[in-house]
Structure 1
Amino acid sequence: MDVARNRYSGELVEAEELWNTDIVDKDAYVCRGCATKVFPASYDPAVNKRRPYFTLGAGSRHAPGCDVDGENTLINRARQERIGGKDGFPMPFPSKLSLSDGHPASPAGAGAVPLRSATLAAVHAAARAAAKGQYHGHTVKTIRPLCRSYINFPKDRAFLPLEIPGVWGSTYAELFWLIPNRKPAFFNNPRHLFHAPLRWKEAPVVSDTHYELTLCAGHWDSATRGYLNLCRLRVDWSGWSDARRYALLHEISAARGEAVEQARRDSQVKAWVFFVGTQDRLDPGLFHVDDARFICCLAARMAWPERQLAPA
């Protein structure tokens, strides 16, 4: 499971957030669709190479009516056809990015506290939605869940609503922009939720002020079947903590390992970087991001059911 619910605050928690948690409370999480206890795993970047996740305890099962285990079936189906409709979507999906910095704290002695009313209300709401088979979106704090939904539901992108403060667009198809393989030019609107494959042949540039990656995007020459120049992403991390910096480096490394492993079965799998960023004012091939919530890296085989237009 990529997401669980904090049993004290009721908030949804991405597994990758555990990388930034000083002390991980193994008893703090339940399934987001039922009250079954789940446990964090693979969360220590000093020991674990793969990214974190949540798992059921030995012999445990989800409560009756919880359809979390059935989501993989829906995701596989979504690769072939649109699964949403006018009445909603058949599984939970993120529809809004919140920029709130609030992080409710667990109470003292939290291990002995039962599920709080906020958690129970969220679980009951999820159960009611599951019974109806329709969901209408929820709020998230980083772009990672948005990117997973973009990958998993390609034929629903034009219909799924999405809101990101300061970024134009009202659907997944409008808000996500693939950096094109053509000579970089200045866009009319320099700010989007961009994405592009990472290029591993060029080593990243690392300094105290920024971390710069080379992207597999830029001026492609069909005659030589090579890039004449490549786009770059500069992560301006001068205001980040050491833990935030290390978490990003670990996520990029994990995505690379996942891409290498999955590419043995599917050569189209790549490590993709997603970021809400801006185009440089002087260099159209350079992009900037400065907020840790606005960047993630995932291994995926990307599908393009609709024509991908260059950003405006």
Structure 2
Amino acid sequence: MDTARDTRTLDLVECEELWTMETVDRNGFICRGCTTQVFPASFDKEHNKKRPYFTLGPSNKHQAGCDIDGEDKIIKRAKKERVGTPEGFPLPFPSKLILTDKRPVEAKDLVTQGLSGSTRTSSTSDKNAATPRKYHGHSVKNIRPACRAFIQLPNDRDFLPLEIPGVAGNTYAKIFTYLRSKKPEPFKFPTRLYYAAIRWVARPLITEEYCELTLNAGEWSQETGGYKTLCKVRVNWASWSKVRRNTLLREFTTTREEAIEQAKRNKQIKGWIFFVGTQDPADPSIFHIDNYQLICCLSAELIWPSKK
């Protein structure tokens, strides 16, 4: 599991956030879909190279009616077809980014609507207990959950609503912008949610003022079979804490290593950088960001449905 809830606040906690915690409470998390305890794993920054995750452990099981049990089947089907309907969506999904350190209101609202830890409490009197819930989106505090949804739900991108401050567009398909292997040109709207493959052989350029990450995108030369220019994302992190800086570098490195290992089994898997950035007005191959909530790295096979 890549997301759980803090038992004290019911805040959603992503596995990557474990990297930023000075002390991780091993008993401080429950499933995001029921009140079953889950445990953080692979979060030790000094010894674990793998990305953190949450696990049920050897004996725990999700409670009856917990939506988490059926998510994998829905995600697998979503790779081949649209799973959403006008009435709603079978999975919870991010629909709005709120740049605040306060937790999204939805967590509290879900409990007051008769849910326990964001799931329906089982009851023989609940006439809808056997009816799958329909979701209409929730707020998140960083782009990572939306990026995971973008990866997992390729056939629903045109329909799923999404709102990001300062970025034009109102659906996943319109919000996300792929940086391709072509000469960078100035965009009409320079601030966007961009994504591109990680350039495996290029290491981060690190200074006190910024960290520059090289993308596998830019102007391609047919004659030489290589790039003439490469796009780069410049993370202006002068105001970031040491923990935030290290977490970004760790996520970048972990994603790169995950992709290299997973590509041995599936050549379509790559390491991806997602970021809400602004294109440099003087050099369109450079993109600037300064907020840690607006960048993440994930390894995955990206699917682009054919246009009908």
Does the pair score TM above 0.5?
yes
Give 2:89's aligned residue. Answer: 89
Unmatched runs of 5 consecutive residues or more in structure 2? 122-127
Q: 1:306 to 1:162 in 2, by over 3 A?
A: farther
Give 1:217's aligned residue. Answer: 217
Within the alignment, does 1:266 sit opposite 2:266 as a pair?
Answer: yes
Alignment map for 1:1-312 (pairs within 5 Å): 1-102=1-102, 120-121=111-112, 123=116, 126-127=119-120, 131-306=131-306
- Distance in 2 of aligned mates of 1:231 and 1:124: 42
Unmatched runs of 5 consecutive residues or more in structure 1? 105-115, 308-312
- Distance in 2 of aligned mates of 1:193 and 1:88: 25
- Distance in 2 of aligned mates of 1:305 and 1:21: 38
- Distance in 2 of aligned mates of 1:227 and 1:84: 39
Larger RCO (CA under 8 A, 6+ residues apart): 1
Give 1:109's aligned residue. Answer: none
Letter of the 2:300 counterpart? A
Deviation of 1:103 (Å): 5.9
| 43-52 or 146-155, larger mean C-alpha shift | 43-52
Deviation of 1:221 (Å): 2.1
Q: Secondary structure at the match of 1:235?
A: strand
- Distance in 2 of aligned mates of 1:188 and 1:59: 54
Contact 1:177–1:193 (Cα < 8 Å) also in 2? yes
Contact 1:7–1:119 (Cα < 8 Å) also in 2? no
- Distance in 1 of aligned mates of 2:103 and 2:32: 18
- Distance in 1 of aligned mates of 2:214 and 2:108: 47
Contact 2:11–2:103 (Cα < 8 Å) also in 1? no
| 285-294 or 223-232, larger mean C-alpha shift | 223-232
Contact 1:277–1:289 (Cα < 8 Å) also in 2? yes
Q: Secondary structure at the match of 1:244?
A: helix
- Distance in 1 of aligned mates of 2:277 and 2:19: 23
Using structure 2 for the length normalisation, give the TM-score. 0.91
Deviation of 1:72 (Å): 1.1
- Distance in 1 of aligned mates of 2:103 and 2:96: 17
Contact 2:103–2:141 (Cα < 8 Å) also in 1? no
Letter of the 1:101 counterpart? D
Using structure 1 for the length normalisation, give the TM-score. 0.90
- Distance in 2 of aligned mates of 1:215 and 1:176: 16
Aligned residue-pair number: 296
Q: 1:306 to 1:157 in 2, by over 3 A?
A: farther
- Distance in 2 of aligned mates of 1:67 and 1:222: 49
Deviation of 1:123 (Å): 2.8
- Distance in 2 of aligned mates of 1:270 and 1:28: 33
- Distance in 1 of aligned mates of 2:86 and 2:286: 40
Q: Secondary structure at the match of 1:233?
A: strand
CA-based RMSD: 2.0
Q: 1:117 to 1:137 in 2, by over 3 A?
A: closer
Contact 1:9–1:118 (Cα < 8 Å) also in 2? no
- Distance in 2 of aligned mates of 1:220 and 1:126: 49
- Distance in 2 of aligned mates of 1:262 and 1:127: 36
